[in-house]
Amino acid sequence: MAGIAPVQLGVFAFIFVAVALVGVFASKWRKAESLNNLEEWGLGGRSFGGIITWFLLGGDLYTAYTFIAVPALVYGAGQVGFFTVPYTIVLYPFAFVVMPRLWSVAHRHGYVTPADFVRGRHGSDLLALAIAITGIVSVIPYVALQLYGLRVVFEAMGLGTTTLGTGLPLFLSFVIFALYTFQSGLRAPALTAFLKDTLIYAVVIVAVIYIPLSLGGYAPVFDSARHALAAKPASAGAAFITPSSMYSPYATLAFGSALALFMYPHNVTGTLAAKRRDTVRRNMAALPAYTLLLGFIALLGYMAYAKGIHVSDPNLALPRLFQASFPNWFVGVSFAAIGIGALVPAGIMAIAAANLFSRNIWTTYIRHDSSPSVQTWLARIVAVVISALALLFILAIKTTFILNFQLLGGVWILQTLPALVFGLYTRWFHRWALLVAWAFGIATGTLMAVANAFESSVYAVHLGPLQFSAYAGLIALVVNILVLLILNPLCKLARLPAGADETTADDYEAEVEDDPAPAAA
């Protein structure tokens, strides 16, 4: 498989550039009077209907990295990779209940970011700052991982593993990507998400029908995986069926990740860009279609075994499987699908982080009088800076570090849940209790990651008779909530000022038609 694959590379480059150009010109789509405010640049004018929202959120949740990492985990370790299935199952009942409330209150008050809501609800700039910084810091390694997904594809196409071999195409991809985000804002990923997922659905449907057929059905796929996993040394921790020692890590990883996902700023952005509350509700009911796709993508890791793919880097399992199964041109198409799969979520993530910086750090703390136009220009620049940082990460820092950073990002973002989700239901929690509890959650999560030498997000708890292993993010969240429950009455007893709540109970259920008659827009 040495040497450059010209057909694959040609098809890849053609599709990738064509789709990126669509993104650049997306600013002309549903043209706003001006892109110079964050409602337009950063939220696409809150105008997206059901289908676009479905693709946008789908593009957000299932990324290039998912495509590479999930089959890689399944190939390398077996069953544990399938935690992504219950994860993306329970995700939707949770989001179905919670996210429409966030949409409604954001619609009523013009909130663009999760930190905007926290500020309005709890009357605390400081708590909003904590939420904003957590969001930005957690999202940067996520963007970097998208570029990492791209790099794996470049590597598979024979561009080598050197900085020059994959560095140059990565840099070119970055330029295209920066241009696209800078120019069109959220309209770019929204429009290209449709193309991305059409390609991905096509590729995955072909793959999960065609590959097992060529292998004699699903039974040999499972059988060969079972044997290959059993043959691995015990130290590899590979298993075909979850062993009892892994029950708790499996379940807590799934549950914790599901709670964390919609705390990420880019997924909030995807949700708030919807036109109606009903669009959000309907989408949460329709999005599990993507989970089915994800489940089959995970199975591709097993198909690699059945196809006799042997790679030392599990990340190459899926690209090598495609190369061994498909004609060159279709390999190019599938790699392009992964490549665009990097562009779309990376765009939304960079935009979401830029919105946070512009509104909740710059405008709150540095220049209170920033006009919408200044806020937007700032966000555009920050989006490019964040992408550049991610590129620097991927070129200069070891991949394992980025992976660890991303795991830690998941642990951190989960600690914003009490301020955000509890806040959607009650004002009972005091802003200072929320802030200190957040800090405890972050500290606990970070310490557990350090104790694990960043090698695993599963932490073994030994508290006297209580011994179990669980997802560090969820343990930290429990600590977070316990601290909150202890401090909350103390804050009230001490009569600390609770801050003003600018929302009303009615705001959380509001649909577009419930709006008061609009003032002249």
Partner 1 sequence: MAQHDPAPEEQRRPKRAVNRGWYALLILPFVATLVPPFYARIEPKLGGWPFFYWWQFLWIVITSLILALVYRMTTRRDKER
Question: Site residues (CB under 8 A) for partner 1?
Answer: 79, 82, 85-86, 89-90, 92-93, 96-97, 217-222, 240-244, 246-247, 250-251, 254-255, 278, 281-282, 284-286, 288-289, 291-292, 295, 299, 511, 513
Q: Which is nearer to partner 1, 84 or 376 (CB)?
A: 84
Specify whether the CB–CB gap between 240 and 79 falls below 8 A. yes
Beta bridge mates, 284: none
For the chain, what's the residue count? Answer: 521
**Which amino acid would we find at residue 386?**
I
- Least distance between partner 1 and beta carbon 254 (Å): 6
Enclosing H/E stretch for 461? strand 458-463
- Least distance between partner 1 and beta carbon 144 (Å): 29
Q: Which is nearer to partner 1, 403 or 470 (CB)?
A: 470
Q: Which is nearer to partner 1, 49 or 308 (CB)?
A: 49
- Least distance between partner 1 and beta carbon 269 (Å): 22
DSSP 8-class letter at 42 = T
Specify whether the CB–CB gap between 111 and 240 falls below 8 A. no
Q: Which is nearer to partner 1, 366 or 505 (CB)?
A: 505
Residue 247 tokens, joined: 């029950």
Nearest to 478 by CA among 435, 423, 417, 429: 417
**Which amino acid would we find at residue 55?**
F
**Helix ranges, 216-325 (H):** 218-230, 247-261, 265-272, 277-286, 288-306, 317-325
- Least distance between partner 1 and beta carbon 509 (Å): 9
What's the angle, vertex CA 253, arms to CA 247 and CA 258, rounded to 5? 130
DSSP 8-class letter at 4 = -
Q: Which is nearer to partner 1, 93 or 308 (CB)?
A: 93
- Least distance between partner 1 and beta carbon 94 (Å): 8
Specify whether the CB–CB gap between 156 and 316 falls below 8 A. yes
Q: Which is nearer to partner 1, 150 or 211 (CB)?
A: 211
- Least distance between partner 1 and beta carbon 519 (Å): 23
Q: Which is nearer to partner 1, 196 or 276 (CB)?
A: 276
Nearest to 469 by CA among 477, 460, 478, 481: 460
Q: Which is nearer to partner 1, 176 or 300 (CB)?
A: 300
Query: What distance in Å separates the CA atoms of residue 150 and residue 256, rounded to the nearest whole number?
Result: 27
Nearest to 82 by CA among 385, 334, 295: 295
- Least distance between partner 1 and beta carbon 175 (Å): 38
Specify whether the CB–CB gap between 156 and 136 falls below 8 A. no
- Least distance between partner 1 and beta carbon 231 (Å): 17
- Least distance between partner 1 and beta carbon 229 (Å): 12
- Least distance between partner 1 and beta carbon 347 (Å): 27
CA 152 from centroid of its chain's CA atoms: 19
Q: Which is nearer to partner 1, 188 or 258 (CB)?
A: 258
Q: What is the DSSP string of 129-147?
A: HHHHHHHHHHHHHHHHHHH
Specify whether the CB–CB gap between 267 and 285 falls below 8 A. no
Q: Which is nearer to partner 1, 83 or 154 (CB)?
A: 83
Residue 518 tokens, joined: 């609009």
Specify whether the CB–CB gap between 200 and 406 falls below 8 A. no
Q: Which is nearer to partner 1, 267 or 323 (CB)?
A: 267
43 Cβ contact list (under 8 Å, min separation 6): 112, 186, 269, 272, 273, 355
Q: Which is nearer to partner 1, 108 or 276 (CB)?
A: 276
243 φψ region: left (φ > 0), alpha (ψ -120 to 50), beta (else): beta
Specify whether the CB–CB gap between 129 and 361 falls below 8 A. yes
- Least distance between partner 1 and beta carbon 92 (Å): 6
- Least distance between partner 1 and beta carbon 307 (Å): 16
